[in-house]
Amino acid sequence: MLIYHFGTKAALIAALLDHLSREMLSALSAALPRARAATEPEALAEIMGLLRTPTFRPYLRVWFDILSAANRGDGAHIAASRRILVGQVDWIATRLPEATIDPRRRGKEMLALIQGMLALDIAGMTKAADIAARRFYPNG
């Protein structure tokens, strides 16, 4: 019946991934209302504080599964990961301090740090993740 509605297994997977990407981004927005942080280190601390909660653990498992499938070359997962990453950059950019020059570029840079920190967290290396954050923001 699902194939009848979606046409192909690939179309079903693409629709599911589209739904998941919208749900992940809306959960982030709902959990951390749209407010600018006073500093970049404060923005990073708020975002990491949110992503490290038990509420977001299931999202992170799904997120890393999507990335893993994208790495294997699956087109639907590549498209979904791109949508999620672009959404995350936009979400981060709206939380950076008002005076941030080129908030989208800074959002991409901060996202790279966040994704690396999350990978370290998953591997049980939270202390190393926190050290990396302090190296990027030594005065934060």
Residue (of 102, 101, 103) closest to 93 by Cα position: 103
Model confidence, pTM:
0.86
Q: Label each residue of 67-121 as H, E or C.
A: HHHHHCCCHHHHHHHHHHHHHHHHHHHCCCCCCCCCHHHHHHHHHHHHHHHHHHH
Q: What is the pLDDT of residues 3-26, one digit of tens each?
A: 777 788 778 888 888 888 888 888
Question: For the segment 22-78, what is each residue's pLDDT rounded down to a tens digit?
Answer: 888 888 888 877 789 999 999 999 999 999 999 888 888 989 999 999 999 989 899
C-beta of residue 91 within 8 angstroms of C-beta of residue 30: no
